[in-house]
Amino acid sequence: MTLPPVVSLTDCSDPNALARQSTRIAALFGSTPTVLPLGGTDPEGAAALTLLDLLRSTDLIGGPSRPVVVLVNIAPRDGHWPNGVPFCSFRHGDHLVVSTLNQRVLAPLAAYLDLTEVRVTDVREVLEAAAGDWAELTPAEIEEMVRTQFRSLWYAPLLARWLVDGHPVPARTSAVRPPVDDDDVRIAVVDNFGNCKLDRPAADLPGYDTAGSLLVRNRLDGRDVPVRCYDRLPDVPLGEPGITVGSSGIGFAELVIRGGSAADVFGLNQGDRVFHLTG
């Protein structure tokens, strides 16, 4: 059986952690994975947009394609679990995703890819089921993996491989909720050009209109700056700021400066609120 390639999104991103994860995934799947570290001030927001973009990139193929496996390890910043948040799984077409159960990361998939539920696993339950059926694991090895703080190394890749192999992994379903509908628009990703990718479609921004402007808070001097809305980046005059329909998500907005860095000019970073909201 030809095993699918693996892409991993993780906030365990120091060189030691990345090296161990890459080696273990390669040993399990037979090829070197693509491991993408997600750090910064708001890794949950970056993971949410990146996962949506990653799955969207498998669409518009025009014919048959090969399955991929996506691993996501972004622990909720407000979660309270005995030894970390559980891991869950779901499929997008032929593609398998194994992720920490992080509602903020998964919520955009409910809104834009029709994800309604995931299958949540318990580490001990899965390992004991595997040891009783398809895996050679001793009680001591099971206990080591149950107790470890680095479950995205020891457990998640095994779970993914067992699901790819079709083993009857025990799990329970859990609903995925769409994002909360509010005006708190944040920067999910700042790309290498300094474009600020926002966390929702342009059409959903309060007051977005290609004939008008929105107030953007400049964090360098505290001023509210009116920024014109445009349909696409090429419509923005050279050297001018604009709010456009960007390349991410499904029509997600970006704050840009054509030929420059919006992040530098406005003093913005990942996780920052973009607009000055009155009231």
Q: Where residue 83 falls among pLDDT bands split at 50, 70, 90?
A: low
What is the separation of C-alpha 194 from the centre of its chain, rounded to a whole number of angstroms? 20
CA distance 73 to 10: 5
Looking only at the bridges linking them, the beta strands covering 95-100 and 69-73 are parallel
The yes/no answer on whether domain 187-266 falls in CATH 3.90.1150.10 is: no
List, for residues 118-171, the tens digit of each pLDDT value.
999 999 999 999 999 999 999 999 999 999 989 999 999 999 999 999 999 999
Per-residue model confidence (pLDDT) at position 276: 58
Residue 160 CB contacts under 8 Å (≥ 6 apart), including other chains: 6, 28, 69, 71, 89, 96, 98
Question: 225 and 215 in contact (C-beta within 8 Å)?
Answer: yes
pLDDT of residue 40: 83
DSSP 231: S
Split at pLDDT 50, 70, 90, the class of 279 is very low
Are the C-beta atoms of residues 221 and 165 closer than 8 Å to each other?
A: no
Architecture of domain 6-175: 3-Layer(aba) Sandwich (3.40)
- The pTM is what? 0.93
CATH fold match for the domains 6-175 and 187-266: no
Residue 75: pLDDT band by 50, 70, 90 thresholds?
confident
**278 pLDDT band (50/70/90 cuts)?**
very low
pLDDT tens digits along 46-66: 999 999 999 999 999 998 899
CB 187 within 8 A of CB 199: yes
In sequence order, the 6+-apart residues with CB closer than 8 A to the CB of 16 are none
Q: What is the band of 41 on the pLDDT scale with cuts at 50, 70, 90?
A: confident
Domain residue spans of the chain: 6-175, 187-266
